[in-house]
Amino acid sequence: MTSKSIQACSIADVAQGTILARVEIAAPPERVFRALTTDELTAWWGPAEMVRATAFTIDLHAGGAWRSEGVGADGKPFHVGGSVLELDPPRKLVQTWEPSWDAHGPPTTISYLLDAVGTGTRLTVRHTGFGARAASCESHAAGWERALGRLASHVAPQPELRFYLCRLLPSRATFMQDMTADERAVMQAHGGYWRGKLAEGRVIAFGPVADPAGVWGVGIVAVRDEAELRTFQSEDPAIKANIGLRYEALPMITAVY
């Protein structure tokens, strides 16, 4: 099973009873490690509508105990704890995992690996030891994706984004049918540009619209402000080539995605 979000992803190998989860965070390893190993954990472990951590303690040395307590969506208390197996701040933390909601089996093991990537951190979580408990492995994988996404948002909050509907209007109604070889090359570069922005999370969706009056392009983009929108448009190969294409953009009142 594979699941992804804008910030985090997780993969559960139920045959091996293993989970691999990863997220990249715009903060140095020292900052991320602190959020993992202090009572700051209660500020991001969740989401709150599903589970809320209320307390966290850890004896931060090999052999030390750790414990987290909280309340589930049903209002019932829970706890999870274990012991520290390995410690190499701020690069590595290995600990056992013994949750009150999954007591049918031996403790599992979590490894946090923090790698510096530029000025940020790539956090990799490896959760092993589920054995034949496939359902537990799958549910924990989904939980890790949510938790790591929340951790990334807590440690490095993202700026509020504004959404725009952008129309790329051609120079003539028959542009799609009779474009020249040079124009076709420009549009191929334009498609690559938008696919790159899609991978970055700046584009929600894009593509051509079959308007009877003439095909035109549409895309929904997420930017911080109008200045970033103008830069987004001006760097598009379709605009830089100066072949008569132009953008119209309308702000969205709200966006649900």
Residue 129 has a pLDDT of 96
Residue 181 has a pLDDT of 97
Output the pTM of the full model.
0.64
Domains, in order of start, for the chain: 2-155 (3.30.530.20), 162-251 (3.30.70.1060)
Low-confidence residues of the chain, pLDDT below 50?
A: 1-6
Residue 144 has a pLDDT of 94
Residue 47 has a pLDDT of 64
Other Cβ atoms within 10 Å of 28 Cβ, number? 17
Which tens digits make up the pLDDT trace of 56-98?
999 999 999 999 999 988 889 999 999 999 999 999 999 999 9
Distance between CA 96 and CA 91 in Å, rounded? 17
Residue 48 has a pLDDT of 64
Instruction: Beginning with the edge strand found earlier in the chain, give each strand of the sheet holding 18-25 in spatial order.
Output: 2-4, 8-13, 18-25, 120-128, 108-117, 92-99, 77-88, 65-72, 51-58
